[in-house]
Chains A and B, each alone.
Chain A
Amino acid sequence: KAGVTQTPRYLIKTRGQQVTLSCSPISGHRSVSWYQQTPGQGLQFLFEYFSETQRNKGNFPGRFSGRQFSNSRSEMNVSTLELGDSALYLCASSLRQGAYNEQFFGPGTRLTVL
Chain B
Amino acid sequence: GDSVTQMEGPVTLSEEAFLTINCTYTATGYPSLFWYVQYPGEGLQLLLKATKADDKGSNKGFEATYRKETTSFHLEKGSVQVSDSAVYFCALAATGGGNKLTFGTGTQLKVEL
- Does A associate with B in a complex? no
Q: Chain A: residues with CB nearer than 8 A to chain B? A: none
